Structure 1
């Protein structure tokens, strides 16, 4: 066999081996989705519990439970209303939530569906949550239609969380400034 054919054969073999290894690596990185269905309980406007498992709706941010907003010159409990809106959506018998990643609080990040509808998108479309990395079109539609939060003024949920008072540490850790 000539030297040129051997080099070509070795190159094709190496390329085939690399492609095979790439396929194995891709399969190992393919996380299996965790799927929940059943009786969900809304903890707030973007978090759910089922049994002892906690989930956060991916791509949205709802007002904090204690947060208030303003519309028509009056204050309203937008955080509580967002929770009630989410609870109403997950009451459907065919609600299913699916996710593969967890947030820094170890909550599964999920997208929920019921009746063929994306519930995360529905929360944003109704103006009960804002886009948080996804659902930008739904937020634009809610803003344009002035629904939910967009009927008046509100502070972004992230800003409310960032300015919330932190618990004071007690005991030795408190004396050390921790």
Structure 2
């Protein structure tokens, strides 16, 4: 899957975007749930509104580039997404608005890049 510059992206929560009709999940991270945590699932701690709002501010930084990696079982694109050159997965981790999930990091790309 090729990288592409897009516009009109909106954060739906702290680890997901909608760019036009495409739903995108940030690679390798899990942010607090906007709704209830499903029973039996280990959900990320924290404030879901603050996490989403931080992602919204970062998207507003500049051009959004999507480096598509895969699709998940829900049909969402799994991707490394950059806004104004900033890796959004790394930025959410650094700001404390998400946790790293090695089991969701195809090729350990986020684990290698985010310090």
TM-score (normalised: structure 2): 0.75
Per the alignment, residue 25 of structure 2 pairs with 56
* Structure having the larger proportion of residues in helix: 1
CA distance 1:98–1:138, shift in 2 (3 Å): closer
Higher RCO (CA < 8 A, seq sep 6+): 2
| Per-residue deviation, 1:112 | 1.0
Can you give the 5+ residue segments of structure 1 that lack an aligned partner in the other structure? Answer: 1-31, 68-76, 142-178
How far did residue 113 of structure 1 move? 1.2
Describe the shift of the 1:137–1:98 C-alpha distance in structure 2 as closer, same or farther (beyond 3 A): closer
C-alpha distance in 2 between matches for 1:42 and 1:114: 12
Contact 1:36 1:98 in 2 (8 A): no
- Residue 55 and residue 102 in structure 1: after superposition, are their counterparts in 2 closer, same or farther (change >3 A)? same
Q: Which has the larger radius of gyration?
A: 1
- In the superposition, relative to structure 1, how do residues 43 and 78 fare at CA in structure 2: closer, same or farther (>3 Å)? same
1:131 and 2:62 correspond:
no
Q: Which residue of 2 aligns with 1:43?
A: 12
Cα root mean square deviation, aligned: 2.4
Count of residues in Structure 1 that have an aligned counterpart in Structure 2:
101
